[in-house]
Amino acid sequence: MKLSKYLLPTLREVPAEAEITSHQLMLRAALMRKLASGVYSFLPMGLKTLRKVEAIIREEMNNEDAIELLMSALLPAESYMASGRWDVFGSEMFRLKDRSNRDFCLGPTHEEIFTETVKNTVKSYKQLPMTIYQIQTKYRDERRPRFGVMRSREFIMKDAYSFDKDQAGLDASYEKMYRAYKKAFDRMGLDYIVVDADSGAMGGSGSQEFMVKSDIGEDTIAYCEKCGYSANSEKAACIPEKGSDEPMRDIEKLHTPNVGTIDELVSSLNTSAKNFAKTLIYRADDKFVAVMVRGDRDVNETKLTNYLGAIEVELAAASDVMEITKANVGFAGPIGLEVEVIADNEIMEMHNFVVGANETDYHFINVNVGRDFTPDHVGDFRTVCEGDVCHKCGGKISICQGIEVGHIFKLGTKYTEALDCTFLDEDGKPQVPIMGCYGIGVNRCVAAIIEQHSDEKGIIWPMSVAPFEVIVVVPNMKDEAQKNGGEMIYNELKKLGIDVLYDDRNERAGVKFNDADLIGIPVRITVGKKFGEGIVEFKERKSDEILEMSIEDAINKAKEIVERER
């Protein structure tokens, strides 16, 4: 490709809206442009990388015998109504009506549609196991689209669904996808870890996420250096910290005006947050519950949702809190509350602690479980913290941030049952297939690759996903010999099957070198002043070293590197 005839509107300035490196570079290197919040158009260079990422995923899926097909993005509502997800998706689902007023959505994910397809096409156990997949556009009206294509409202997903006769079959299908994912992410040059993930309240029997460690990641990962355990913090199990053995003291009600926060309260009582039990009022679908965790802990809403089997839990509105506690927000406590009290395990370890008194400006001190109140439910309802004890080995838990690029999930029969999908077993009896589902965020992968492969000058593409493998730069196009030399090397490289970009623009040398660094093509060959002596410059984007060599050596070296790293 000749750059003079290409579409590469690179930007000098960092666009103000882009907070993170990958988003900035995807705009500056002209991979994409924004159309609306969370909606992007891919420009030619961005599309080339996107297609390379897709090709890697496709190859690895095919290698594990998954079969590619393509579903519509425009989907009738019925299957989602049958599975219950027409409601579950809530405002995240883009909904529309056709001219006859029938309900449709733009597919946020396709479990229902794949299940329908299998229901209509698979009849016998002889056709199973089967894993089918697509690489297709998804739509989710995310509450907070951000970081460019990292979290967008339209994005490309590779979604696969396995159908098996029994649990052992599902385990094997899952294992194959695990392998395919590892190979695909390795080939993309991503440095990632696989973490245990939440598998929801219903059906799922196992789930793992592929996480790219990054400070800008929206997921929190808990891991143990000692035994290698790692889990999404939504899921990571917590061990309660042992409490003291001090004897019970008499409970007292204290007047505590003007203390808005836990910090203010504990400092005015001259105690610590560890000696305070937070009581938070939650709305779980259409009922209210009170959840207690130690003052320095956070309620884990995923654990709470799963425990309650709820579709959605969220903190109750202030007006509801006031009605339930008969006090202003901030004074809830377990004593005398009429809603169910759900306590984290750690509350059972505490003695002589502080709680709200369900009365504005009052707290109880020296509260003890058993004597002063008894929770209705006790369990693991808090989020893991840095320094916690690992529940597997007793080691120490560390916390880091991660970008979820892929997710594999043993689903069970939730969808096949809901949609009445069956096959005939060896005895001719109808059975329900067991499903797994497996997703990769294709454009999120592109962004994650850039997060891990860039410097202050721009992107440093791994060869496997680089939009072009080699760039040929002629800094001075006015020099006929150099211009012809550039053209000749460009043609030679093309003949070798290398994906090559030729910067033949009438631009200043500085502009050309800056752009070459910004767009991050792995190998650069510069045809400059020494071309008359048969010498060109050879540089890899990831190294600072500029080598001088003969034209032939440069071409051979480029070929060797491309073929090795591609």
Three-state secondary-structure class, residue 517 = helix
User: Between residues 444 and 539, which has the closer beta carbon with respect to ligand ATP?
Assistant: 444
* 406 in contact with ligand ATP (CB under 6 A): yes
The piece of 51-59, 301-309, 378-386, 438-446 that touches ligand ATP (CB under 6 A) is 438-446
Counting contacts by CB under 6 A, is residue 405 touching ligand ATP? yes
> What distance separates the 2 farthest-apart alpha carbons in the chain?
95
136 scored as a contact of ligand ATP (CB under 6 A): no
Tell me which residue has tokens 């990571």: 236
Angstrom distance (rounded) from CA 415 to CA 75: 16
* Shortest Cβ 439–ligand ATP spacing (Å): 3
**Does residue 439 interact with ligand ATP by CB under 6 A?**
yes
Report strand pairing: 154-164 vs 219-224: unpaired
Residue (of 435, 242, 248, 266) closest to 356 by Cα position:
266
Q: Give min distance, CB of 407 to ligand ATP, in A.
A: 4
Under 8 Å between Cβ of 276 and 353: yes
Q: Is 151 in the site for ligand ATP (CB under 6 A)?
A: yes
User: How many CB atoms lie under 10 A from the CB of residue 298?
Assistant: 15
Contacts of 2 (CB under 8 A, 6+ apart): 490, 502, 504
85 touches ligand ATP by CB under 6 A: no
Contact 2, 477 (CB under 8 A): no
List the helix and strand counts (H, then E) for the chain.
14, 31
List the interface residues with ligand ATP, window 459-518 (CB under 6 A).
Answer: none
CB of 140 to ligand ATP, least distance (A): 5
Window of 399-407, 417-425, 464-472, 475-483 that interacts with ligand ATP by CB under 6 A: 399-407
> For ligand ATP, which residue has the nearest CB?
441
| CA 64 centroid distance within chain | 23
* 297: CB partners within 8 A, 6+ apart: 278, 344, 346, 382, 383, 385
* Cα–Cα distance, 62 to 67 (Å, whole number): 7
Q: Are 511 and 477 in contact (CB under 8 A)?
A: no
Out of 34, 444, 512, 541, the only residue in the binding site for ligand ATP (CB under 6 A) is: 444
Q: Measured between alpha carbons, how far is 337 from 55 in angstroms, rounded to an integer?
A: 58
In sequence order, what DSSP letters do the residues of 120-137 get, joined into one string? HH--BGGG-SEEEEEEEE
Instruction: Tell me which stretch binds ligand ATP (CB under 6 A): 98-106, 150-158, 375-383, 519-527.
Output: 150-158
**47 contacts: CB under 8 Å, gap ≥ 6:** none
Q: Which of 404, 492, 499, 503 binds ligand ATP (CB under 6 A)?
A: 404
Q: Does 524 contact ligand ATP by CB under 6 A?
A: no
Question: Which of 153/541 has CB closer to ligand ATP?
Answer: 153
Residue among 40 and 538 whose Cβ is closer to ligand ATP = 40
172: phi then psi, degrees, rounded to nearest 5: -70, -40
Compute the least distance from the CB of residue 92 to ligand ATP, in Å. 9
Query: How far apart are the C-alpha atoms of 311 and 82, rounded to whole Å?
Result: 16
Asked if residue 366 binds ligand ATP (CB under 6 A), the reply is: no
Binding range to ligand ATP, per CB under 6 A, among 121-129, 147-155, 256-264, 557-565: 147-155
Residue 401 makes contact with ligand ATP by CB under 6 A: no
Q: Which is nearer to ligand ATP, 405 or 473 (CB)?
A: 405
Q: Which of 40, 80, 147, 155 binds ligand ATP (CB under 6 A)?
A: 155
- The span of 48-56, 403-411, 464-472, 493-501 binding ligand ATP (CB under 6 A) equals 403-411
Binding map of ligand ATP across residues 108-127, x = CB under 6 A, - = no contact: -x------------------
Q: Of 99 and 143, which has the nearer Cβ to ligand ATP?
A: 143
Element (H, E) at 510: helix 509-519
Candidate ranges 15-23, 162-170, 299-307, 404-412; the one touching ligand ATP (CB under 6 A): 404-412
Q: 129: cis peptide before it, omega within 30°?
A: yes
Q: Which residues bind ligand ATP (CB under 6 A)?
A: 109, 140, 142, 151-152, 155, 157, 404-407, 439, 441, 444
